Amino acid sequence: MARPSAYSTFDEKFVLFDEETDLPIPNTEYAIRRANGNLEYGITDARGQTHLLAATVAAESVDIYA
């Protein structure tokens, strides 16, 4: 049985989708504003995925701009 650890961390990738076609958006520039206000920039991969956000010890809300 898996148990939560005091050392659990959160890390995430996101997939950006076109609102009209509902298909992933490859090779698109984006910015992610972290809960602490820091911005991270990148380009989605061939599957529309962002980079893996740095691990945090608590879940956080982010805003993504494409």
**Which pLDDT tens digit goes with each residue over 8-36?**
566 678 999 999 999 999 999 999 999 99
What residue numbers bound the domain in which 48 lies? 8-66
Write out pLDDT tens, residues 43-63.
999 999 999 887 777 788 899
The identity of residue 37, as a single letter, is G
- The answer to whether position 2 is within a domain reads no
Secondary structure E strands in 1-66: 29-33, 39-43, 63-65
The DSSP code for 41 is E
pTM over 0.85: no
What's the sign of the alpha-carbon dihedral 8, 54, 52, 36? positive
The DSSP code for 56 is B
pLDDT at residue 4 in the model: 46
Q: Give me the number of domains the chain comprises.
A: 1
- The answer to whether position 3 is within a domain reads no
Residue found by looking up tokens 């490859």 in the block: 26
pLDDT at 3 over 60: no
- The answer to whether position 45 is within a domain reads yes
